[in-house]
Amino acid sequence: MNFEGKQIRFQFLSVLSHELKSPINAIEGYLNIMRDRQAGNNIEDYQGHDRSFARENKRNAELNS
């Protein structure tokens, strides 16, 4: 593979890696909020976070299809 081909492959893999890590990092952040009870002790305090989980999970699934 020539130099230009290697550069294109490297750029593609860099973008792919970033796109896959972003939703995973977001989900991990939401889980940490819940684990550490940063939003409070009541389940109602976490309403809205479940939608964030679902949105990030859907985005991740779309990237992997």
Note the pLDDT tens digit of each residue in 15-51: 888 777 777 787 788 788 888 888 788 877 777 767 7
pLDDT over threshold 80, residue 65: no
**pLDDT above 70 for 54:** yes
What is the 3-state secondary structure of the chain? CCHHHHHHHHHHHHHHHHHHHHHHHHHHHHHHHHHCCCCCCCHHHHCCHHHHHHHHHHHHHHHCC
Q: Where are the domains of the chain?
A: 18-63
Q: Say what the pLDDT of residue 64 is.
A: 64
pLDDT score recorded for residue 31: 81
Q: What is the pLDDT of residue 21?
A: 76
pTM value is: 0.49
